[in-house]
Homo-oligomer: A and B are copies of this chain.
Amino acid sequence: MKNISKEDYLSVIYKNSDDNKEIKANLIAEKLLISNAAVTDMLRKLSKEALIDYKPYKSIKLTESGENYAKNMVRRHRIWELFLHQVVGLPWDKVHDEAEKLEHSGSDELINRMEEMLNFPEFDPHGDPIPSKDGAIPKQRTTVSLSTLVENDSGVVIRVNDFNKSFLIYLAQIGIELNSIIEVKEKRSFDNSMLISVSQKEWNISETLAENVFVEKLKA
């Protein structure tokens, strides 16, 4: 039962690797809020178990089996998120932390059962893809940042950045959810703020907010 730690490391490596699928020890330490020394320690262990390729002082890469392991953790996390949101009705900004705690427990059977209940979803409440049982990853839909839309454009919300909790809370407040339809009413060139309408209501949003909401553009 003490693989929790290992699981966290693998998830972090998976989620934060660059385009070459490599990552630096430093980043892992930052994300997990632990010392670099602890990271080195664990890297040696993961390497011994052939879950990562690791040579001292070089950057780190998951092996195939390490990647499978990590993908499964991501899968578990995202299915929990979606389940908590959809079935239990937990608000958007709470599901991440809750899922973080639950993802290490629960049998694969339970995960599969929840996936089935959710009708084999492809994306979680943040719009991130959910790896399937066999490790396949749904292709990201082609999305653009809300900030790229201009007056009279509209789009469906596909994904939002999970970068900040109060951001998520605010989104919920103004009624922006997965699949919400957003229409740009006005756009101000001097600060790129915009007036949008979401489910009959209008709101003024900053460029920062718009940059972190991703939509699929609708035909005019």
Residues of A within 8 A of B (CB): 84, 87-90, 94, 97-98, 101-102, 104-107, 109-110, 113-114, 117
Contact assessment for B106 and A102 in the assembled complex, using a CB-CB cutoff below 8 Å: yes
- A83 shortest CB reach to chain B, Å: 9
Contact assessment for A110 and B98 in the assembled complex, using a CB-CB cutoff below 8 Å: yes
Contact assessment for B110 and A106 in the assembled complex, using a CB-CB cutoff below 8 Å: no
Contact assessment for B88 and A109 in the assembled complex, using a CB-CB cutoff below 8 Å: no
Contacts of A94 in B (CB 8 A): 109
**New A-B pairs, 6, CB < 8 Å, besides A84-B110, A89-B117, A98-B110:** A88-B114, A90-B110, A97-B107, A98-B107, A102-B102, A105-B105
Summarize A's interface: helix, strand, loop or mixed.
helix
Contacts of A84 in B (CB 8 A): 110
Write the chain B residue with the least CB distance to A110.
B98
Q: Pick from A90, A97, A105 the residue with the most CB of B within 10 Å.
A: A105
- A61 shortest CB reach to chain B, Å: 28
Task: Give complex CA distance A114, B117 in Å.
Answer: 17
Task: Give complex CA distance A110, B114 in Å.
Answer: 17
Write the chain B residue with the least CB distance to A89.
B113
Task: Give complex CA distance A104, B106 in Å.
Answer: 11
Contacts of A114 in B (CB 8 A): 88
- A80 shortest CB reach to chain B, Å: 10
4 smallest beta-carbon distances between A and B, as pairs: A101-B105, A102-B105, A105-B105, A98-B110
Supply 8 A–B pairs (Cβ within 8 Å), ascending by A: A87-B87, A88-B110, A89-B117, A94-B109, A98-B106, A98-B110, A101-B107, A104-B105
